[in-house]
Amino acid sequence: MSSILAVCPGTFDPFTNGHLDILERASKVFPQMIVAVAAKPDKVPLFTVEERLEIIRDAVRGMEGIRVDAFHALLVDYVKAQGASVVIRGLRAISDFEYEFQMALMNRRIAEDIEAVFLMPHEAYTYLSSRLVKEVALLGGTVKGLVSPLVERMLREKYDQYKSGRL
C-alpha cells in the first residue's frame, strides 16, 4: 500500500455527496489523506470554516486515515508543510477541465514535486455542485440524497435565516 500522503483541497461550501464519492475513490489509492478546507479570503461562503469542518468530520466519520483541516495559505505551501506530495481533485465534466488544467500547471510551476491526481465521480454526481445545492436549498427546494442529513439540516437553518432577513 502507498504511504504517500494526499491532500484533497476544496471550498466545500457545503460538502456534498459528490465530494464524498471522490474521497471514497481516493482512499482506495491513498490510505492517508487530509481533506483541506480552503478559507479563501476572496470568496464569501455560506458556511463558516468551522461549520464546513464540522460537516466534513461528520461525513468521514468511520473512514480510516482521513484528517480534516483548514488552510489559509497557498495550496502548494500547505501541501509541503504537511509533508504531502499529491493533490486530489474531482473532474465532473469538460467544463471542470480547463480551470483544473490551469491550476494544476500553475501549481506545478510553483512546486514541481507535487503531483495532481484527478478522479471522476459516479455519473449520478456529475451535475452536482455546492453552488447548485445552495441555490436550490435557499429557494426552499429539497437537496435530499445530494448532501448528508446534517448538511440538509444546516441548509434549512440557513434558509430560515435567509427568509427572515438574518442572512
Q: Are 31 and 59 contacting, i.e. CB atoms less than 8 angstroms apart?
A: no
State the Cα–Cα distance between residues 107 and 98, nearest whole angstrom: 14
- Our answer to whether residue 61 is catalytic in this structure is no
- Our answer to whether residue 80 is catalytic in this structure is no
State the nearest-atom distance from the C-beta of 48 to ligand ADP, in Å. Answer: 15
The amino acid at 106? M
CB-nearer residue toward ligand ADP: 106 or 160? 106
Q: What are phi and psi of 103, to 5 degrees?
A: -70, -40
- Our answer to whether residue 19 is catalytic in this structure is yes
Q: Which residue has the cell 445530494?
A: 146
Q: Which of 27, 52, 89, 92 is catalytic?
A: 92
State the Cα–Cα distance between residues 15 and 119, nearest whole angstrom: 17
CB-nearer residue toward ligand ADP: 5 or 14? 14
Question: Which value, to the nearest 10 degrees, does the dihedral of the CA atoms of residues 161, 12, 131, 143 take?
Answer: -70
Q: Which of 3, 28, 43, 144 is catalytic?
A: 43
State the nearest-atom distance from the C-beta of 35 to ligand ADP, in Å. Answer: 10
- Our answer to whether residue 166 is catalytic in this structure is no
State the nearest-atom distance from the C-beta of 84 to ligand ADP, in Å. Answer: 16
State the Cα–Cα distance between residues 131 and 8, nearest whole angstrom: 19
Footprint on this chain of ligand ADP (rule: CB under 6 A): 10-12, 16, 18-19, 22, 38, 89-90, 92, 96, 121, 125, 128-130
Q: Looking at the annotation, which residues are catalytic?
A: 19, 43, 92, 130
